[in-house]
Every structure is written in structure tokens, then in C-alpha cells.
Chain A
Amino acid sequence: MATQLKHTVMPSGGDFTSLGAAIDHLVASHANLVTADVYADIEIDGTWSSADTTLVDIAGITADATRYINIYTTAAARHDGKWDTGAYILIPDEDESVSLNIESSYVTVSGLQIKVTSNASRTEYLAVIRIQSGVGCTIKNNILTGKTGITNSSCITLKSEAGSPQYIYNNIVFNFIGTGMYLDNEGGDQYAYIYNNTVFNCTTGIHTGRWAKHTIKNNIVTNCTTDFSGYFLASYNNATDGDTAPTAEISSGDRVEQTFSFVDTTSGSEDLHLASNDAGAIGYGTSSVDSLFTDDIDGQERTSWDIGADEYVEAAGATPRSNPFSRPFRGPFGRGGL
């Protein structure tokens, strides 16, 4: 049975102060997790007052389904389901075309906030997360955005060179000039499973190629110029405010021309949790994905299977939404409280 190899990334007091440095160490010193019979946990912890500004490139590591790479945030470093400048954020400087690049198999990225920024002179299409190659990768519970002037960029890019399977679920993708999720599959033998994401205010919501390889379920795509593009293998219970459902070989339960209600869509302070009066997503999802996950972006258990990254949970009396990943109350005067 594989044993744990753990490294911490913290603003101070941890092994590393940057995720990029932790990955550099892993590649240099633990390149073959299978031979070593270990799985690598990269734990991001602590209270962050500034962004991690170094590109993360995960390449050259040998892994399998039980000897994998798991990058995750603790409660202290994790967002609360909306962009949080007090939680961990990865924003490489403008001299990079991708923020987190994956060229290894069995990599999980969970609970991060990641943004890409660039000057408009770049000739590469930008990506917040790009799976360039590898199999068995999981992108979940992340909040992703960008500030680009390059229209062919994409928040999540899944390249044709990557194999099967790939899992992308419970992510919020918002405010991105370009495509929210670009699922390339030109001739590749690649199957991806795209479940319960919220894509808000992108040029194109979810794009795939013409080969009908990818399955999409329970995704919200709203405030986008084009909602869905390409030909999917299967489409179940996706919802959009537009008038066109995904084109797929098999489809059921998709919802068009829906009105979604989020907690706050004000530019700069978006909170894309579902509001209590939402009529487009609450209760309209399918539970057929529950073999993969049963919670939402906040770690709350899914019971009614809402569409999108958030599962609406009714407040009990004056009790606020419970969130197992919430950080401790810091008091009215900021961190540390009174």
C-alpha cells in the first residue's frame, strides 16, 4: 500500500512558500511515485495576504491511480465559494501564457483560486489551467478567472494530447474573455467528464470538437455570448440562459432560456452561490454523477442535486449557510479578530 509523501506550501512556516517551488522539488527529488510507492500530497495552508506569482508546471512525474499527486487547500487557505483575497490565489505575472500546466498523469487540483493575466502582445492562447498531456487528472472545487485581451484563450484547456479519463467538476469559471472550458479532441482518444460547473460571463461557455467524446452534466452556462459549441458525446441536465442546448449524441434534461439567481453578480464582487429565489438550477440536476462526488464547491453535501458548482442549502432560522471549509470568524476588525 502506498504511503504518503507530504509537503506544505505556506506564506511562512511551511516547507515551501510557492506551489511552483514545491512542484519543482517533487519533480527533482520524487519523480517516480510508482517506484517509490508513495502518493504526494501538496497541502496549501495558512493565511495568505498576497498572491503566489509563479507559474506551476507539473511535468516529468510518473504516477498511477494509487500513487498520485494531490494538490489541495486546507480550510485556512481555501476560498468560501467566492473569490477571496484572503485565501490562496495563484496569479503568475504577465510574462506567462498559462498559470497551471499539467503534463503528468493522476494530478488532482482542488480548492484553489487561479487567474491568468497577460499583455495583449502574446502570440499564445492563454489558459488558467491547461492539461497538456496525461490521464486521470481531476480539476475540482476551484475558482478560475482571467484578464486577457486574447479572444481565443480559455480558462480550462484540455488538449488533444491528453488521454482518458479527465474529470472537471464543481468549478466556478467567470469573467473570462475567451472560452470557459475548451475541450479539444481533434482525433484524440480522449473522454472527459464535465460535471456541475458554473460558467459565468465568458465569450463561449463550453466548447468541444466534432468527435463526440465528452460528457457534460449539471453545468450552468450563463451570461456568455455563445453557451455551448461543438458536438458532445452526452449532455444531461445542463442549463443556460440562452436558447440553444448542447448538441450531443445522447441528451436529456437540458434546460434553455432559464433565469438564474445568484447571491451577487455585481462586477468585482461576484458571489455565484445560488440564491434562495433561483428558478433555473435548484433541484434540476441529475444525481447520476454521485459515484464520483456527492458534495459541492463548498464541501456541502448535495441532496437535491442543483445544477452548477453550488448546492443551495436553506438557512435554518438565522443560521448562516454552513460550510465545512469556512475559516474561523476573524472578528469585525479583520484577521485575528478582537
Chain B
Amino acid sequence: MAEFLIRAQASSNPAASEIGDIIIIRPDGHVWGNAECLPEYLVVKLPRVDYETVKQYKAALTLGTGNDAVIVKRRRWNVPVAWIKARVAEGNSVITITKNNLKTQFIEKILEKLVS
């Protein structure tokens, strides 16, 4: 099992992560911090999913090559805002979803959309 910490609360800072952004991913059984919960964060547990197979979802989105590479978005992956808001409305800081949900929920931020 892997566990995801996902932003659940919006910020007025345009540089901040967005609702649905995947902040960190930890292996099963991780003991989360006192502030890693609602209202700011949601913990999503994925049974029968190995950490090594999903750790890529905490990667940054980088633009450029060589010495000109810069991080344009700290979080490359997120899940739909509506889905997060629905989970937040349920009031639980920790939820468990199935592996099949994983494939349909994660969205890669596309560079062309970000700069347009």
C-alpha cells in the first residue's frame, strides 16, 4: 500500500500548490504529522499498490535542458478538484480508494496548458 498526501485547501498565493496536487507519497503505514490533515491536506491510501510503482506521481514539472532547466510546477500530478472537494465534504482526513480508481483519478499537468 502507498499513501498520498494531497492538498485539499486553496491558497491565494499563485506559487502555492493547488487543490488536488500530490504533495508527498509514502509507503504503507506512514505516521502522518499533526498538520498533515484537514482542512489543508487529505491522506489517500491505496491498498495493494507498491510505493515504487507510484512514487513518480510526486515529481515536479521541469522545463528546459542542461543548465537552463527550471521547475515550472513543483507538482506535476494532481487529482480532480471536484473529487477532492467531495471527499473533504465527507469530513474524513484519511480515505481509502481502490487501485482501479487510481488510473482514472490522476492527471498529469501538461506544459502547453500551463503556459497558454
Contacts and interface: CB of A to CB of B under 8 A. Distances in A.
A14 B17 contact: no
A12 interface: yes
Interface stretch (B6-14, B79-87, B88-96): B6-14
A14 B70 CA distance: 31
Nearest to A184: B67
A254 B9 CA distance: 54
Nearest to B57: A95
B23 interface: yes
Give the secondary structure class of B's interface: loop
A123 B16 contact: no
B73 to A, nearest CB: 9
A29 B35 CA distance: 12
A83 to B, nearest CB: 23
Interface in B48-95: 55-56, 58-60, 62, 64-67, 69-71, 74
Contact of A17 (B30, B40, B55, B56): B30
Nearest to A55: B60
A14 B7 contact: no
A27 interface: yes
B36 A16 contact: yes
B55 A31 contact: no
Given A17-B31, A29-B11, A97-B69, A54 B24 contact: yes
B36 A93 contact: no
A15 B58 CA distance: 20
Contact of B66 (A21, A53, A54, A152): A152
Contacts of A17: 24, 26, 30-33, 36
B16 A27 contact: yes
B31 A12 contact: yes
A132 interface: yes
B71 A15 contact: no
A257 interface: no
Interface string A9-33: 1111111111011001101110100
Nearest to B58: A54
A28 B65 contact: no
Nearest to A159: B67
Nearest to B17: A24
Nearest to B12: A31
A152 B70 CA distance: 16
Contacts of B58: 54-55, 93
A57 B74 CA distance: 7
B13 A28 contact: yes
A55 B74 contact: yes
Interface string A37-78: 000000000000000011101011100000000000000000
B70 A132 contact: yes
Contacts of B36: 15-17, 21
Which one of B5, B31, B33, B66 has the greatest number of beta carbons of chain A within 10 Å?
A: B33
A101 interface: yes
B17 to A, nearest CB: 5
A132 B34 CA distance: 31
A208 to B, nearest CB: 14
Contacts of B55: 53, 93, 95
Which one of A16, A20, A59 has the greatest number of beta carbons of chain B within 10 Å?
A: A16
A31 B66 contact: no
B110 interface: no
Contacts of B16: 24, 27-28, 31, 60
A293 interface: no
Interface of B: 5, 7, 9, 11-17, 23-26, 30-36, 40-41, 55-56, 58-60, 62, 64-67, 69-71, 74
29 contacts: A7-B35, A10-B33, A12-B33, A15-B34, A15-B35, A16-B36, A17-B24, A18-B5, A20-B23, A20-B24, A21-B23, A24-B7, A27-B11, A28-B11, A28-B16, A54-B58, A57-B71, A60-B13, A60-B14, A93-B59, A95-B55, A96-B60, A97-B69, A123-B69, A125-B69, A132-B71, A152-B66, A157-B67, A184-B67
